Amino acid sequence: MSGPGDLLPVDDAVDIVIRAAQELARNSWPTRQLSLWDASGFILAEDICADRDQPPFDRAMMDGFALRAADVAAGPTTLRVVGEVAAGSDVDLTVGEGEAVAIMTGAPLPRGADTIVMVERTSRPDDGHVSVPGPLERGDNVAPRGQEVREGQVVAASGRVVESLTAGVLASVGAHRVTVRVRPRVTVITTGSELVPIEATPGPAQIRDSNRRTMFAFLEREWARVVDGGIVADEMNATRMAIREGLDSDVLVLSGGVSAGSYDIVRAALEEEGVEILFHKVRIKPGKPVLFGRHAGGLVFGLPGNPVSAFVAGLVLLGPALRVLGRRPEPASWYVRLPLVGELPATAGRTTFHAAELVRGDDDQLAVRYRPTLGSADQVAVARGNSFIRTEPGAPAARDGDLVRVLLPHSPVSW
């Protein structure tokens, strides 16, 4: 029997990948300690808690005068200025009845005071006095101790990526050494007797190995440690040897050699090396011949050789595996619905990923435009865009303004 019924639906394939990745991640994924300065892009493997209340003292939010709200309850009042406290100063001042202290933003509120009046609302009849309006709301312009977080409260949960503002939050609680998850190690092997390294000049029947470069960039952006498995010719012994080495990594990614041609030997080579094939061929366009397997120590992806097919299969299947391995608390796949600008053709028998470009509409609303291509080899056209529109088998054409389902290539949410 043949036909679309033979092909595994995309979401079933993603489920199989995610389950296999979860099993692998469960076997206590290693962690290491890093200086916070070296930890950018790493995934936290511990909850980081506040080491003290924040703010750590009742803090001035304005430049002005610290006073007691009760003293100005009756209306405008002139108070005696008994000192000054700047940010970082720990002078020990007390504000008594009828008194005020000049205070700068970020300074601790002196004992006795409960309120700050902005300097712009005051006047100075002489050096020793300040006239302030009244009444004032008690607590005005004061950030009470512990208002943002309390000592011991989690400020960044395990699974967060250490990036700009998160790194700052860790710094603010003194987490200058952090425990992070060791990045998954991913070996990339490209197969094909027609391939030459990108530094070489291809002969008449040769092409440059662009897929390895694509995968490196994709994997680095997904926080993997990439190992270069090189190019192997379509030859059984060489392929098996390269695979054997690549199986040391947590994830082995191969490109090419998984279609139905007589030189497509990757599946047989993997099986000879003890890899259990969990699926081969998915109802996806492009990327149908994609293969997925596992062995005791890791996962194996056999991506098609066509550059766009390899990229789509990588985004749809490999991306989720890496997010699960990193235990990143975000969706394994980033699908969002966006309005279509222009038209989108109808879909035939396979779930289709249409090359697309995110665009910003007149009203600043995010939208998406389909970008026609010549097919799964046309990486130049796809690279001009930045995302894919996903449609299901049998879906009718879509029109301008219709909501369509877009796969974002990387997480849009972390910082």
Which residues here bind ligand AMP, judged by CB under 6 A?
190, 192, 194-195, 207, 209-212, 255-257, 259, 261, 304-307
**Sole window of 152-160, 238-246, 257-265, 375-383 interacting with Mg ion (rule: CB under 5 A):** 257-265
Phi (first) and psi of residue 277, to 5 degrees: -85, 120
CB of 3 to ligand AMP, least distance (A): 22
Residue 103 CB neighbours (<10 A): 32
Q: Which two tokens stand for residue 391?
A: 């449609």
d(CA 308, CA 314): 10
Q: How far is CA 25 from CA 14, 29, 114, 120, 358, in A?
A: 16, 6, 52, 58, 33
Binding status of residue 192 toward Mg ion by CB under 5 A = yes
DSSP E strands: which ranges in 169-244? 177-181, 185-191, 195-196, 207-208, 225-232
Residue 190 contact, options ligand AMP, Mg ion, none, Cβ 5-8 Å cut-off depending on partner type = ligand AMP
Residue 211 contact, options ligand AMP, Mg ion, none, Cβ 5-8 Å cut-off depending on partner type = ligand AMP
Nearer to ligand AMP among residue 250 and residue 264 (C-beta) = 264
Handedness of CA 95, 100, 106, 107 (dihedral sign): negative
Nearer to ligand AMP among residue 11 and residue 194 (C-beta) = 194
Nearer to ligand AMP among residue 55 and residue 246 (C-beta) = 246
Binding status of residue 256 toward Mg ion by CB under 5 A = yes
CB of 255 to ligand AMP, least distance (A): 5
Nearer to ligand AMP among residue 257 and residue 314 (C-beta) = 257
CB of 171 to ligand AMP, least distance (A): 42
* Token pair 């639906």 in the structure block, residue: 9
Residues 294-323 that bind Mg ion (CB under 5 A): 305
Binding status of residue 289 toward Mg ion by CB under 5 A = no
| Residue 6 per-residue DSSP state | G
DSSP track, 264-324: --HHHHHHHTTPEEEEE-BSEES-TT-EEEEETTEEEEEE-SSHHHHHHHIIIIIHHHHHH
- CB neighbour list of residue 219: distance below 8 Å, 6 or more residues apart: 186, 188, 226, 253, 322
Residue 110 contact, options Mg ion, ligand AMP, none, Cβ 5-8 Å cut-off depending on partner type = none
Residue 194 contact, options ligand AMP, Mg ion, none, Cβ 5-8 Å cut-off depending on partner type = ligand AMP
Phi (first) and psi of residue 281, to 5 degrees: 90, 120
CB of 283 to ligand AMP, least distance (A): 18
Nearer to ligand AMP among residue 148 and residue 235 (C-beta) = 235
Nearer to ligand AMP among residue 233 and residue 395 (C-beta) = 233
Residue 132 contact, options ligand AMP, Mg ion, none, Cβ 5-8 Å cut-off depending on partner type = none
CB of 328 to ligand AMP, least distance (A): 28
| Residue 364 per-residue DSSP state | S
Residues at the contact surface with Mg ion, assessed by CB under 5 A: 192, 256-257, 305
